[in-house]
Amino acid sequence: MHDVNASRSANAFVPLTASAVLVNAVGLHARPSVKLTQCAKGFTAKIEFALAPDGPWTDAKSPVKVMRVKAPQGATLHFRVAGPDGKAALAAVLALVHDGFGEA
Label residue 93 exposed, middle or buried (CB < 10 Å: 0-12, 13-18, 19+): buried
Question: How far apart are alpha carbons 29 and 95 in whole angstroms?
Answer: 17
Distance of closest approach, residue 14 Cβ to another protein, in angstroms: 27
Catalytic residue among 2, 29, 78, 98: 29
Distance of closest approach, residue 90 Cβ to another protein, in angstroms: 22
Residues engaged in binding another protein (CB under 8 A): 1-2, 25-27, 29-31, 33-34, 37-38, 59, 62-65, 67-68, 70, 72-73, 103-104
29 is catalytic: yes
Max CA pair span of the chain? 38
Which residues are catalytically annotated? 29
